[in-house]
Chains A and B, each alone.
Chain A
Amino acid sequence: MKKKTSNKWAKYIVICVLLAIFLVPFYLMVINSFKTTQQFVSSPFSLPDKIDFDNYAQAFEKMNFLNAIGNSAIITSISVVLILLTSSMAAYFLVRHKWRINKIIFAVLVASMIVPFQAIMIPLVSIYGKLDLMNSKWVLIFMYLGFGQAFAIFIFHGFIKNIPLEMEEAALIDGCNKMQSFFRIVFPLLRPVITTVLILDVLWIWNDYLLPSLVLLSPQERTLPLSTYNFFSSYSVDFAPLMAGLVLTILPVLIVYLFCQKQIIRGVVQGAIK
């Protein structure tokens, strides 16, 4: 019995040490964001003498933070809402109509999931560049809509397959058309999978760097990852404000994580296992 408790303590200590190592980078980032660059370089481990928000003010201004976070919020929210709507409708149609064309479409969608972004990136830029469609939020949102389809349809398809037909049949008899029966009966049942797709897509689009860096060229349109990158490449010697900039970038995600970590973790794991 004694061996068992000491074993437990050993495990506990190992876990705590590992977690400390895991989180040290974040800790260093936060404490150094309150120091001057000089203090940062000479003693990165010491706590700051005083809490002052100069670095934050500087980062806030140079990153054009409000503008960037606004762009990120608009692009992420509109893209995700559109992906959820269109892909759930498409998945519903694919499940309920076993036509040959639908089977082919579904197979193509699933197969497309293994294509890496790098294999699409160059032709995408050359086509949309030739059509002069670059540098617009709306085109970027359209692209996310396209890239988001396959995975979302796949997840919705798996879920809708298991919803019994009876309720929809009853609704049809009561005079609902297809659209109404989808939105009134099926869509509300999708809640658990909607959360999964929502979380994965928000994390993906919010943090995405490569695609927006190719599409959004003017400083006015920059999303948060783009403005972080730009801030770093233009002010690379002044470390302390850069740390403040990183804290500002991470903060919104961490606040959301604090409140819905259970759903977020579950969503991410569900998305991976399916």
Chain B
Amino acid sequence: MKRGKKALINAGTFAAFMGPSLIAFICVLLIPLVYGIYLTFTNYSPITGTQDYVGFQNFAAIFSDKEYLGQFLKTLRYVFYSTIFCNVLAFILAYLLTSNVKGQNFFRAGFFTPNLIGGIVLGYIWKFIFANVITLIGKSLEYEPLMMSFLTHPERAIWAMIIVTVWQYAGYLMMIYVAGFVSIPKDILEASDIDGATGLKKLFKVTIPMMVPSFIICFFISISRGFMSYDLNLALTNGQPYGSTRLAAMHIYQKAFQANQYGVGQAEAIVLFIAVAIAAVSQVLLTKRYEVEA
């Protein structure tokens, strides 16, 4: 009797404390996730109303779809270059802004600004810069490559995406590297000074190995955000010209909501999910090998 009452009270507090949280989580995330896996095996379309079991047909459709594969490779290229450039720039900024420069807080805040603003707005600002400002500079300098807008050039448009992505996230990653620089124990740096390490040698032999955890976080963030990039893509290029900048996330959106092939779109989303997980986890494992104890 007493045990029963205790269990009842426990269940009551469980419901009071966990209930709202769990209900929202299950309804919004868990159920759609499971239902989504089921959707990949159907030909569901809200227009035709069909929802039949089709086995692995959707996955087969992805891997025989040359266009999707091309866009997937493009996404990989975009993620690769934006991750590298963004981290290099962020690291340099953090290095400069932790060396006791006057007003470094002001500078840090300035570089961080783009992160407060959504991808849609940032994309539109840059759209005009690429279309009107850079072409004008190109004309006045009579420098051929700048005279035509990056956004209408099938090869260069993806570079416009990379440039804006680097600009958008460099300040954010910079702050994480700053935290990394600051957390290096002073005595280690002093010891290396006494041992005669200077300048670049100190940077590569002491500072960088001590900052491996920051590298892991920053690469993780830039890789996963790169694969998910949608807002910026939509505002800046909208996949143009000729679909040359349609990244994976946008492809999924269009497949599902414009072509009404929910099953194929969802199968592509699952493939993307797996790709992100593989890229992110292997990055962490690779980088972890270089971690050193302080």
* A residues apposed to B, CB below 8 Å: 8, 11-12, 14-15, 18-19, 22-23, 25-26, 28-29, 32, 40-41, 44-45, 82, 86-87, 89-90, 92-94, 97, 105, 108-109, 112, 114-127, 129, 142-143, 145-147, 149-150, 153, 178-179, 182, 203, 206-210, 214, 225, 228-229, 232, 239, 242-243, 246, 249-250, 253-254, 257, 261, 264-265, 268-269, 272-273
Contact B221 A246 (CB under 8 A): no
* B109 in contact (CB, < 8 A): yes
Instruction: Determine the distance from Cα of A109 to Cα of B22 in the docked complex, in whole angstroms.
Output: 10
* B27 in contact (CB, < 8 A): yes
For A20, the closest partner residue in chain B by CB is: B110
Contact B29 A115 (CB under 8 A): yes
Contacts A129-B46, A145-B28, A272-B176 known; 17 new A-B pairs at CB < 8 A: A15-B93, A22-B114, A25-B129, A25-B167, A109-B25, A120-B29, A120-B33, A121-B256, A127-B35, A145-B20, A207-B118, A207-B119, A214-B257, A242-B128, A246-B121, A269-B179, A273-B176
CB neighbours (8 Å) of B228 from chain A are: 116-118
Task: Give the interface SS of chain A, mostly helix, strand, loop or mixed.
Answer: helix
CB neighbours (8 Å) of A153 from chain B are: 21
* B residues apposed to A, CB below 8 Å: 13-14, 16-18, 20-22, 24-33, 35-36, 39, 44, 46, 93, 96-97, 99, 101-102, 107-121, 124-126, 128-129, 132-133, 136, 167, 171-172, 175-176, 178-179, 217, 221, 224, 227-228, 230-231, 234-235, 249, 252-253, 256-257, 262, 265-266, 269-270, 272-273, 276-277, 280
List 26 A-B pairs, Cβ < 8 Å.
A12-B101, A15-B93, A22-B111, A28-B128, A28-B129, A41-B132, A44-B136, A45-B133, A90-B22, A97-B14, A115-B273, A116-B273, A118-B269, A119-B33, A122-B256, A122-B269, A125-B257, A129-B46, A145-B20, A146-B27, A149-B29, A178-B13, A207-B116, A232-B235, A254-B116, A272-B176
With contacts A22-B111, A86-B20 known, is A11 near B120, CB below 8 A? no
Contact A225 B121 (CB under 8 A): yes
CB neighbours (8 Å) of A112 from chain B are: 25, 29-30, 33
For A90, the closest partner residue in chain B by CB is: B21
For A233, the closest partner residue in chain B by CB is: B238
- Tell me, rounded to whole Å, the shortest Cβ–Cβ distance linking A16 to chain B: 8
Contact A124 B28 (CB under 8 A): yes
- Tell me, rounded to whole Å, the shortest Cβ–Cβ distance linking A209 to chain B: 5
Contact B115 A268 (CB under 8 A): yes
For B114, the closest partner residue in chain A by CB is: A22
CB neighbours (8 Å) of A28 from chain B are: 125, 128-129, 133
Instruction: Determine the distance from Cα of A112 to Cα of B30 in the docked complex, in whole angstroms.
Output: 8
Contact A265 B112 (CB under 8 A): yes
With contacts A11-B101, A114-B277, A268-B172 known, is A122 near B217, CB below 8 A? no
- Tell me, rounded to whole Å, the shortest Cβ–Cβ distance linking B275 to chain A: 10
Contact B266 A122 (CB under 8 A): yes
Instruction: Determine the distance from Cα of A104 to Cα of B266 in the docked complex, in whole angstroms.
Output: 27
- Tell me, rounded to whole Å, the shortest Cβ–Cβ distance linking B112 to chain A: 6
- Tell me, rounded to whole Å, the shortest Cβ–Cβ distance linking A192 to chain B: 16
Contact B107 A19 (CB under 8 A): yes
Contact A239 B18 (CB under 8 A): no
Contact A265 B108 (CB under 8 A): yes
Contact A253 B129 (CB under 8 A): no
- Tell me, rounded to whole Å, the shortest Cβ–Cβ distance linking B283 to chain A: 13
Closest CB pairs A-B (n = 9): A146-B28, A207-B118, A123-B36, A93-B17, A90-B21, A146-B24, A123-B32, A145-B24, A86-B21
